Structure 1
Amino acid sequence: MITPMDNAGPADPAVGADSGRADDPGAPGTPQVPCARPRGRPRSAAAERAILDATLRLIGRHRSVAALSIEAVAQEAGVGKATIYRRWPNKEALVIAAVEAAEQPIPELDGENVRDDLIRLLVMMRQNLLDRRAEGLVSLVLGEVGRHPELHRRYHEVVIERRREAMRVVLRRGVATGELRGDIPIELMKDLFTAPMLIRKMLDDTDVPADLPELIVDSVLRGVAGSSDETR
């Protein structure tokens, strides 16, 4: 259950990054112009991005939800606390939003051949592994799983499962077209392509060369390719 970890203080009058009109429509001499804009303050995309980026930077430094505070995020982002609380009710909700914002989109897969699509997926995986923000998120999620199960659930749903399903789609298509063997379970085949890069990252943080995705795909394909495949 998500419980607020920081209570919102009084509204910050200094916050103006996403404020409404500065003029008073009821003041004498002010033209009364009809306005179709919905009531309330519009949200500033720039302020929201600054808050999420600040949260990710602090996560990378502290790698703990407990060590994170709304006050610290506000200071890092250059906004008032009220600006944050208007968007997220508590610290955990903010961290979950940062997790979702940090995830890179799944690359466009043209489906012309399995090899190229697998390489695209592993290139994305490599980029995520080299992203220090993503590394901080992984450490945070694994370390906070018992205290913040919703954070772990959302990370698994938004990050892990999206990547796994994209890989499954490519592998199933490869089996259907005969590019891949049909006698190997999809989950095992998925692990054969993804595990080498994860292990390389764990054992040697700096040794994840740019050509590793292509090397892994071509090496694994020699064992899992279908009889009609002509992989290079």
Structure 2
Amino acid sequence: MTAAPAPRRGRPRSERAQAAILHASAELILDHGLGDVSMDTIAERAGVSKATIYRWWPTKEALALDALYTEWEPPEPTDTGTLRGDLLDLLLPWVRLVRARPYGRVIGTFITKAHSDPGFAAEYVSRVVEPRRDAARALFARAVERGEIPAGTRVEVVLDLLYGALYHRLLHGHLPLTDGFVADVVDLALDGVHGHTGSEVRRADDRPQS
């Protein structure tokens, strides 16, 4: 009889260890806040050595960013047939996730550090901010292709209007971040998009100075 091939070693174990570290990090940071969680605590919860964590993440903050990205990893953009439907399909699952746990506290910590640490700021943008904006950009590009919105739509401004409103409620907590609020924000932003042709939409720096 031919002997069965030996099980592969190394990579599957590494992947399991990384997944355990990311999960442990997310749980601890959400439960206690970034400042009160140490690498030792994460290692103990994940069942790995601290040296194993440092093999992949040089700092606690870098690990926290990856843990958050794993929690928030945007899905593949779906095609509901309309930009409104696509945006709701993208934004509503994220909003339901962030309002279920104290994500606002974690994001607030990240933003504070980003304002004092340019290196961390660049990592925060590339690992947390841009992936979600990229997913939304794909929806706008598809809407342009099917002729639903003008080719000259200022997509970056619209994304700031959408995410800015959601983050405002998430961070300040002055009013609830509800599904209805998400729908209202999407509708108002798209009212602005549909109310202009591409040639009528001004660049921010073209506005008259007061």
**Alignment TM-score, normalising by the size of structure 2:** 0.69
Root-mean-square deviation over aligned CA pairs? 3.5
Aligned residue pair count: 193
Partner of 1:145, secondary structure, is: helix
Task: Look up the match of 1:14.
Answer: none
Corresponding letter in the other structure for 1:144:
K
Match of 1:106 among 49, 58, 75: 75
Q: Is the 8 A contact 1:102 1:134 kept in 2?
A: no
Task: Look up the match of 1:43.
Answer: 13
Share of identical aligned residues, percent? Answer: 27
Q: Which has the higher helix share?
A: 2
Any stretches of 5+ residues in structure 1 without a counterpart? 1-32
Q: Is the 8 A contact 1:145 1:152 kept in 2?
A: yes
Corresponding letter in the other structure for 1:88:
W
State yes or no: 1:196 paired with 2:165: yes
Q: Is the 8 A contact 2:162 2:185 kept in 1?
A: yes
Q: Is the 8 A contact 1:59 1:133 kept in 2?
A: no
Task: Look up the match of 1:132.
Answer: 101
How far, CA to CA, are the matches of 1:206 and 1:84 in structure 2? 42
Q: 1:97 to 1:198 in 2, by over 3 A?
A: closer
Shift of the alpha carbon at 1:43?
1.0
How far, CA to CA, are the matches of 1:194 and 1:146 in structure 2? 19
The C-alpha deviation readout for 1:58-111, integer Å capped at 9, x for no partner, is: 3231323xx53222112333x242673485364445334423322233353216
Shift of the alpha carbon at 1:46?
5.1
Shift of the alpha carbon at 1:160?
0.7
How far, CA to CA, are the matches of 2:170 and 2:115 in structure 1? 25
Q: Is the 8 A contact 1:54 1:73 kept in 2?
A: yes
State yes or no: 1:164 paired with 2:140: no
Match of 1:63 among 14, 30, 34: 34
The C-alpha deviation readout for 1:110-130, integer Å capped at 9, x for no partner, is: 162211111112213413432
State yes or no: 1:73 paired with 2:31: no
Corresponding letter in the other structure for 1:139:
G
How far, CA to CA, are the matches of 1:210 and 1:41 in structure 2? 41
Corresponding letter in the other structure for 1:99:
L
Task: Look up the match of 2:122.
Answer: 153
Match of 2:154 among 185, 188, 193: 185
Q: Is the 8 A contact 1:106 1:163 kept in 2?
A: no
Any stretches of 5+ residues in structure 2 without a counterpart? 198-210
Partner of 1:211, secondary structure, is: helix
Q: Is the 8 A contact 2:33 2:106 kept in 1?
A: no
Match of 1:84 among 42, 52, 57: 52
